[in-house]
Structure 1
Amino acid sequence: MAKLNIGMVGYKFMGKAHSNAYRALPMFFPDRITPTMKAICGRNTEAVSAAAEQFGWAEHTSDWKELVSRDDIDLIDINAPSNAHKEIAVAAAKAGKHLYCEKPLALSLQDSRDMLEAAEKSGVKHMVGFNYRFAPAVMLAKRLIDEGRLGDIYHFRAWFLQDWLVDPDFPLAWRMQKEIAGSGAHGDLGAHLIDMAHYLIGDIKEVIGMSETFIKERPLPEETGGLSATSGNPSQTGPVTVDDATLFLARFGNGALGSFEATRFATGHRSTNSFEINGSKGSVIFDFERMNELQVYFTDDKEDVQGFRRVLATDPAHAYAGVWWPAGHPIGYEHTFTHAFVEFLDAIKEDRQPVPNFNDGVKCQQVLEAVEQSVKERKWIDVSSL
């Protein structure tokens, strides 16, 4: 099969996840285009060199501009902090490179629209990293909705709960700085919930929200990553300029109602990413911590056995079941990235845009900013007005 040379910008949490997915593809999907891990890029030369060796990249560089200009690179994978997304994506698009970019797509709605425009103008393929769409149980929920087995959809409620910032002495990592991250729990966790709502239910019409920053000053870090940091002098602090928690209500274009909660202060929750959907004929519940399972309820079950049932969604619920393990053997978080890249590689081969792409990233950014505007103005905001 044809090969695709990958250049990746970023080497920490998402860099490791993406690298693992690229390495798994030839083994489990041998009939697809083969990704070649050509070069990885990061600002810290020593650290990116170590990552290249650990993850299996052929080369490393600290200059992303050199990387995107190379003739032997076909696709640029962007998983650097959010403030770097636009500049790298626009330059890569102009250089004719296909684009994979982590969420949220950009720091602002306008930046995300600029990225989409650049990609469309260059005619490259583009994809955004909403990997949870590719969990088996989510794919089963999507199928039940599309086939009408849940009937008319009335409610979508979703929550993404973490607790890694509860300690007030945790240093000021970049995810707590608005100029780098764009927003806090809202853009980091809430973006996944918004995209899931768009994927499963449809467009969000209007929103009203509230948010809070519980710890407003934190120790300055000596060294920082996205989800980790080491403290220098604890007496030296800096302001937290993003939200610690954001909640909002939504109305969908199809009349359904939604509620969303994203927080990093839910003690006892390491990564509770869940949704519940209620329809006229049934309901489903998904919990990422049990990602191979879907709780399913149908109103036409006999009354004496009505209730939520546990469905193991490993086979034949999703499109990629056959390449992994025998029926009943679960898969993990890392497989959602592999499935996302399968979609991307198939789209390149078939000369179509993958899904989700930058259009979905822009739609998500539009809702994120509508909620932020609602928080400031304390009123309902029409998403289409942005």
Structure 2
Amino acid sequence: MKNEKVRVGIIGANSTNWASRAHIPALQLLPEFELTAVSTTKMTSAQQAAEKFGVRHAFDNENDLVSCQDVDLVVIAVKVPFHFKLVKAAIDAGKMIYCEWPLGNGTKQAQELAELAAVKGIRTFTGLQALSLPETIYLKKAIGEGLIGEILSSSIIGSAGGWAAAKTPEDLYLLDPANGATMLDIPFAHTLAAFVDILGNFKSINSTLARRREEVTLLTTGEKFPLLTNDQIILSGILESGTVGNIHYRSGMSAGTNFLWEINGTKGDIVITGEVGHYQLSPVKLHYAASGKKLEPMEVPAEFLTQRAAVPAQPVHGMYYAYKAVWADLVNSTQFVPDFKDGVQMHKLLDNIVKSSQEGKNIIF
């Protein structure tokens, strides 16, 4: 693709949800993309979104959107249980696809979608946007070039924010693992994707998953609902490089540390901090210290940042860089944005984390 606009159709683009708060504002900042179509389950909400964002086509079903001649890239931005049906419709239509993470409701669905897309030769993108963040790309380069020497260990502690209370009735679907949107699937997996991208894959893992809260409160009504999924995750292991890795995520928020990522090397340390354990969509600060020195702020060099005067804060920030990376892959025929095959690999890693906890054993890859 050379010097053409990518025409985007978003499934799940009403005027108030995640697509309208992150995807659409990001796309509006990128002249390489044009939002041409939106669909929801009701024509009234689709038309409202189309009017609000100046979009030509509004549909009340996915089939009309994926078959629209003015759509090149179909974006799936709905709840996880609907991903399989909607992605498959886009594959059947032969369109490029960007699907929010998780790719499927479980590995089986993700694998089938990846295979179907591969058979048709369709270009796919999985929404693990943490890999496209300037912070991730810079850290990977700096560490790879030996800024802090050989990496000895790396540890993360994070608070997931959710899974302790539900802000709205829509959030209740996060409480049931059958919906594929657990704490393990969302904040933990997004951060884990950046962890292995920067530091390398695990050679062995040992994990502990636990459910410490029995129920959560719906904040709008005060009602109590059962929490059916784990709200404590501990992953420890050895990376292929020999680096020791440890990640602990917990539900809710802490009065102390809510996101701290330390990378310790033979020549120094890097520390990443944030307000919540959603590395993919929450602002972070970087610090660096050579061995024996004090930590100092670590700025991301201009070469890793956009040339725009300003990019809005998260969550638009993350999606902006994700779409920039998609465009670069399309123009340069590269593959830096995770595709469906990469999505399957992340699903399999999560499966092994669950297996390790259930069987109480170390898993060697």
TM-score normalised to structure 2 length: 0.86
Match of 1:29 in 2: none
CA shift, 1:285, in A, is 1.1
Q: Aligned with 2:298: secondary structure?
A: strand
Report percent identity of matched pairs.
22
Q: Which amino acid aligns with 2:182?
A: G
The range that moved more, 192-201 or 106-115, is 106-115
CA shift, 1:273, in A, is 4.3
Give the 3 Å change call, closer, same or farther, for CA 166–268 of structure 1 in structure 2.
farther
Match of 2:319 in 1: 337
Match of 2:279 in 1: none
Please tell me whether the aligned partners of residues 21 and 315 of structure 2 are also in contact (alpha carbons under 8 angstroms): no
Q: Distance in 2 between matches of 1:373 and 1:7?
A: 37
Match of 1:145 in 2: 143
Gapped runs of 5+ residues in structure 2?
A: 276-281
Give the 3 Å change call, closer, same or farther, for CA 167–333 of structure 1 in structure 2.
closer
CA shift, 1:133, in A, is 2.8
Report whether the alignment pairs 1:286 with 2:278: no
Match of 2:252 in 1: 265
Q: Which residue, out of 32, 35, 42, partners 1:37?
A: 35
Q: Distance in 2 between matches of 1:168 and 1:93?
A: 34
Q: Distance in 2 between matches of 1:288 and 1:58?
A: 39
Q: Distance in 2 between matches of 1:244 and 1:86?
A: 26
Q: 1:23-62, aligned counterparts within 5 Å?
A: 23-26=28-31, 34-62=32-60
Q: Distance in 2 between matches of 1:132 and 1:108?
A: 20
Q: 1:180-191, aligned counterparts within 5 Å?
A: 180=179, 182-191=180-189
Please tell me whether the aligned partners of residues 102 and 181 of structure 2 are also in contact (alpha carbons under 8 angstroms): no
The range that moved more, 53-62 or 199-208, is 53-62
Q: Aligned with 1:124: secondary structure?
A: coil
Match of 1:351 in 2: 333
Report whether the alignment pairs 1:241 with 2:248: no
Report whether the alignment pairs 1:295 with 2:287: yes
CA shift, 1:150, in A, is 2.1
The range that moved more, 149-158 or 44-53, is 44-53
Query: How many residues were matched structurally?
Result: 353
Q: Distance in 1 between matches of 2:230 and 2:19?
A: 22
Match of 1:129 in 2: 127
Match of 1:224 in 2: none
Report whether the alignment pairs 1:4 with 2:10: no
Give the 3 Å change call, closer, same or farther, for CA 129–159 of structure 1 in structure 2.
farther
Gapped runs of 5+ residues in structure 1?
A: 27-33, 222-228
Report whether the alignment pairs 1:251 with 2:238: yes
CA shift, 1:359, in A, is 2.8
**Could you give the per-residue CA deviations for residues 308-353 of structure 1, whole angstroms, max 9, x where no partner exists?**
111232x4251x343335xxx9965422211110111122222333
CA shift, 1:163, in A, is 3.3
**Aligned Cα root-mean-square deviation (Å):** 2.8
Match of 1:177 in 2: 176
CA shift, 1:155, in A, is 1.2
Q: Aligned with 1:355: secondary structure?
A: coil
Q: Distance in 1 between matches of 2:243 and 2:8?
A: 41
Q: Distance in 2 between matches of 1:183 and 1:145?
A: 32
Q: Which amino acid aligns with 2:105?
A: L
Q: Distance in 1 between matches of 2:184 and 2:338?
A: 20
